[in-house]
Amino acid sequence: MQTILITGASSGYGLETARHFLANGWNVVATMRRPNPEVLPGSDRLRILPLDVTSDESIAACIRTAGPIDVLVNNAGIGVAGVFEVTPMAHIRKVFDTNTFGVMAMCQAVIPQMRDRRSGVIVNVTSTVTMKPLPLAAAYKASKQAVDGLTQALVEELAHFDIRVKLVEPGYAPTTRFTHNNQIDPMALIPPAYEGFAAPILREFGAPQKTTKEIQVAEAVWAAVHDTAGQLRFPAGDDAVEFARSRI
């Protein structure tokens, strides 16, 4: 029976992915900054472990406790929306610490065991923001675009050891906790000079025509994990599929 480790599994995409794999017979290691056993059904195939992907010590302790990992899903992330000019650099660094360097650190932590076994899958969850130049999401896009590039490079670097590396690209999900995890009110990052430009974009954010459901991301992760045909990108959600068709 295979084991999957999912980061950021306390809510949203990560939680639904943990539920999906658990329901399909996998051993699941659901990691969270603040573990909450109530969010997942009790099972002898489930372990909930603390993990802060920005802490080397936390990562090392988690990997030691988790034991052999067949699949790593890098899902943990935080957001930032607003005008780049006034976005505090301290918050941008925090976004990169989680969204980019956290992914890199987790990959480095699991690659040695996968390399030794000559098997394994790494799934990096990015976003449709990597598909188009979306204003008011510059820092967030940059953090996810870096993971896109990392993943492309690792595909060939790790194929030599029979490790598969995949990208899951969710669209916009207004109902997830992640949407509210910006930690800075976007309106506080809209200076007067940008109000006319930003207003229609913010209205679209508030009432999107198509969105992504959490189960669609879980199903995309499932498809990515089981793909052996060499597909790299797995858009997740109606809006993501539409974005992917018009990728520039």
Q: Which of 247, 248, 233 is nearest to 148 (CA)?
A: 233
**pLDDT tens-digit readout, 171-184:** 887 655 444 455 66
Q: How far is Cα 90 from Cα 101, in angstroms, rounded to an integer?
A: 15
Q: What pairing do the DSSP bridges indicate for beta strands 46-50 and 27-32?
A: parallel
Which pLDDT tens digit goes with each residue over 189-201?
888 899 889 888 8
Model pLDDT, residue 241: 81
CB contact at 8 A, 170 and 220: yes
pLDDT for 248 beyond 60: no
CATH number belonging to domain 3-245: 3.40.50.720
- 206-218 pLDDT per residue, tens: 766 678 899 999 9
Please provide the DSSP assignment of 3-56 as one string: EEEESSTTSHHHHHHHHHHHHTT-EEEEEESS--GGGS---TTEEEEE--TT-H
Residue 178 pLDDT: 46
For residue 246, report the phi and psi dihedrals to the nearest 5 degrees: -110, 20
Cβ atoms within 10 Å, residue 183:
11
Under the banding of pLDDT at 50, 70 and 90, the label for residue 101 is very high
Catalytic residue among 13, 140, 172, 194: 140
Average pLDDT, the chain: 91
1 versus 242: the higher-pLDDT residue is 1
Predicted local distance difference test score (pLDDT) of residue 132: 82
140 is annotated as an active-site residue:
yes
3-state DSSP call for residue 155?
helix
Query: 91: buried, middle or exposed (CB in 10 Å: 19+, 13-18, 0-12)?
Result: middle
